[in-house]
């Protein structure tokens, strides 16, 4: 499921994807992007918070995972503010022209009673 965030004028400012990995157990947030001129304005935090609400309340998962480039400090800080915690690093996970990227894995678990 891909969602697009819009500003007050209706212009797209970002997008986020929820991939169901194991129904009622976990999902993954991916393809999280905020337009360069929208960064630092809380748009990413709002998108992640909304996606987490959809995952927990609509799809009833117990855990949300995501992977982020280990050197993307701004994104990692955004996810931490939403309650995500670091659960491991996947070294050299992505091959690019100039080398490899380590992926920092984070997870957010459901607070309270699980869905039945």
Domain of 101, CATH number, reads 3.40.630.30
Number of structural domains in the chain: 1
Residue 22 lies in a domain: yes
DSSP per-residue string spanning 24-55: TTEEEEEEEEE-GGGTTTTHHHHHHHHHHHII
Residue 116 lies in a domain: no
pLDDT at 113 exceeding the cut of 70: no
User: Which pTM was predicted?
Assistant: 0.87
The arithmetic mean of pLDDT across residues 38-58, rounded, is 91
pLDDT, tens only, 3-33: 999 988 999 999 999 998 877 788 999 999 9
Residue 17 lies in a domain: yes
Which pLDDT belongs to residue 109? 93
d(CA 56, CA 61): 5
Instruction: Supply the range of the domain harboring residue 27.
Output: 2-109
């Amino acid at each position: 499921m891909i969602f697009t965030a819009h500003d007050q004028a209706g212009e797209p400012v970002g997008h986020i994807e929820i991939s169901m990995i194991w129904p009622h157990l976990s999902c993954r947030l991916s393809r999280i992007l905020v337009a360069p001129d929208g960064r630092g304005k809380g748009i990413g935090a709002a998108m992640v918070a909304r996606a987490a609400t959809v995952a927990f309340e609509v799809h009833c998962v117990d855990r949300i995972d995501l992977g982020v480039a280990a050197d993307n400090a701004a994104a990692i800080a955004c996810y931490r503010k939403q309650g995500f915690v670091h659960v491991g690093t996947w070294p050299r996970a992505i091959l690019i022209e100039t080398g490899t990227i380590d992926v920092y894995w984070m997870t957010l678990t459901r607070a309270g009673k699980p869905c039945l």
